[in-house]
């Protein structure tokens, strides 16, 4: 397991460095500059501003300065919010996105696993068909459309839930339910298909012949062995949900990473764009490592970094 984690960590750091480099180059190669949308400034003032942020230096020098600052934990100043650093903005926004995303991930995955297991183990075809329809509809519906429908129904028509910001616990309901749609759909469909396959395996029949109860077989043997495919995709899904969905946070006016990323791209705030990208990449590396740990717990054959045999 240690060998596997070290390999994943080294691969993740290299991947993160490549992501930062590509983001840096793409932003610098885009036509225009971060201050082109401001009102026309005198050439001398424009020159001083660009010199302050090293925008007049050669590209290789800008990259070297920025990477050196990152290694020291400094993400630089924001071009748009000049009174705040990117580190402050990212830390504040990450806390909001993490809280919102954690609630959505827990709700979506737990509900998806529960309903997926029920759909796969039930003998009632109508129940299976109805739950399967919910899973397929969930994975086919974009989150921003689903969120818009929730706002239309519960905020505008019924006037029972607030539609924006996170001022009270009640404000969390609509954005959390919206963000939970994707993890629910993946968890449901993967759990249902895997449980349907595993419940007919030979070792399950052997457990039944040994006199174990159906509930114990379902929980300790069928469900536990059915979680491997879900864990394989849970890392990227968790990173995407917890670091913030761009459309959902913008829709509900949530001051998280997703909303800041959208506004940073619009404002050409280079340091803030790269700062949010670093957080997302780091989250992806972390959750993939956590996924490997969980897979190793569920299947000891993975602890030494080995692959599963077919």
Mean pLDDT score, 55-70: 83
Mean pLDDT score, 264-287: 83
Task: Identify the weakest region by mean pLDDT among 37-41, 110-114, 200-204, 246-250.
Answer: 37-41
Q: Please indicate, yes or no, if residue 250 is contained in any of the structural domains.
A: yes
Q: Is the pLDDT of residue 245 over 80?
A: no
Greatest mean pLDDT range, 174-183, 216-225, 297-306: 174-183
The reported pLDDT for the residue numbered 177 is 92
Task: Identify the weakest region by mean pLDDT among 30-34, 116-120, 173-177, 270-274.
Answer: 30-34
Mean pLDDT score, 29-36: 67
Structure tokens that stand for 290 in this block: 């956590």
Greatest mean pLDDT range, 10-14, 155-159, 284-288, 306-310: 155-159
**Which is more confidently placed, 100 or 285?**
100
The reported pLDDT for the residue numbered 226 is 74
What DSSP string runs through 85-136? BHHHHHHHHHHHHHHHHHHHHHHHHHHHHHHHHHHHH-S-HHHHHHHHHHHH
Rounded CA-CA distance 248/179 in Å is: 7
Q: Is the pLDDT of residue 178 over 60?
A: yes
Mean pLDDT score, 187-198: 84
The reported pLDDT for the residue numbered 310 is 39
Instruction: Give the per-residue SS3 of 124-178.
Output: CHHHHHHHHHHHHHHHHCCHHHHHHHHHHHHHHHCCCCCCCCCCCHHHHHHHHHH
The reported pLDDT for the residue numbered 108 is 92
Beta-bridge mates of residue 77: 85
Q: Please indicate, yes or no, if residue 306 is contained in any of the structural domains.
A: no
**In the predicted model, what is the mean pLDDT of the chain?**
79
Domain hosting residue 172, numbered range: 89-260
Q: Please indicate, yes or no, if residue 131 is contained in any of the structural domains.
A: yes
Each residue's pLDDT tens digit, 71-128: 888 888 887 887 788 888 888 888 888 888 889 999 999 999 889 888 888 888 888 8
Q: Is the pLDDT of residue 52 over 90?
A: no
Q: Which residues contact 97 (CB under 8 A, 6 or more apart)?
A: 242, 243, 244, 249, 254, 256, 257, 258
Q: Please indicate, yes or no, if residue 27 is contained in any of the structural domains.
A: no
Mean pLDDT score, 5-11: 77
Q: Please indicate, yes or no, if residue 227 is contained in any of the structural domains.
A: yes
Q: Please indicate, yes or no, if residue 4 is contained in any of the structural domains.
A: no
The reported pLDDT for the residue numbered 297 is 65
The reported pLDDT for the residue numbered 248 is 85
Q: Please indicate, yes or no, if residue 72 is contained in any of the structural domains.
A: no
Q: Is the pLDDT of residue 300 over 60?
A: no
Task: Identify the weakest region by mean pLDDT among 139-153, 164-178, 183-197, 221-235.
Answer: 221-235
Each residue's pLDDT tens digit, 137-166: 888 888 888 988 999 999 889 888 888 778
**Which is more confidently placed, 27 or 34?**
27
The percent of residues above 90 in pLDDT, for the chain, comes to: 8
User: How many domains does the chain fold into?
Assistant: 1
Whichever domain contains 179, its CATH number is 1.10.3720.10
Q: Please indicate, yes or no, if residue 21 is contained in any of the structural domains.
A: no
The reported pLDDT for the residue numbered 308 is 43
């Amino acid at each position: 397991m240690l060998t596997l984690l070290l390999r994943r960590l080294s691969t993740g750091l290299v991947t993160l460095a490549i992501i930062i480099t590509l983001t840096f180059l793409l932003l610098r190669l885009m036509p225009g500059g971060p201050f082109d949308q401001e009102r026309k400034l005198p050439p001398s003032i424009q020159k001083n501003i660009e010199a302050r942020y090293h925008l007049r230096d050669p590209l290789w020098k800008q990259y070297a300065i920025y990477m050196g600052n990152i290694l020291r934990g400094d993400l630089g100043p924001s071009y748009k919010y000049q009174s705040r650093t990117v580190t402050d903005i990212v830390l504040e926004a990450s806390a909001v996105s993490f809280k919102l995303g954690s609630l959505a991930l827990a709700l979506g995955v737990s509900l998806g696993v529960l309903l997926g297991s029920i759909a796969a183990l039930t003998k009632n075809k109508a129940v299976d068909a109805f739950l399967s329809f919910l899973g397929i509809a969930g994975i086919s519906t974009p989150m921003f459309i689903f969120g818009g429908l929730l706002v239309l129904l519960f905020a505008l028509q019924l006037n029972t839930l607030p539609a924006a910001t996170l001022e009270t616990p009640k404000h969390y309901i609509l954005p959390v339910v919206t963000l939970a749609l994707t993890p629910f759909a993946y968890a449901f469909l993967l759990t249902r298909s895997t449980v349907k396959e595993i419940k007919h395996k030979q070792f399950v029949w052997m457990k039944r012949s040994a006199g174990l109860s159906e509930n114990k077989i379902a929980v300790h043997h069928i469900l536990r062995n059915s979680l491997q495919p879900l864990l394989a995709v849970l890392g990227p899904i968790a990173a995407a949900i917890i670091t913030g969905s761009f459309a959902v946070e913008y829709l509900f006016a949530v001051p998280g990473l997703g909303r800041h990323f959208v506004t940073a791209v619009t404002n050409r705030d280079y340091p803030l764009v790269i700062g949010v990208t670093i957080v997302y990449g780091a989250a992806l590396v972390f959750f993939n490592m956590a996924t490997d740990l969980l897979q190793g717990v569920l299947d000891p054959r993975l602890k030494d970094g080995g692959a599963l045999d077919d």
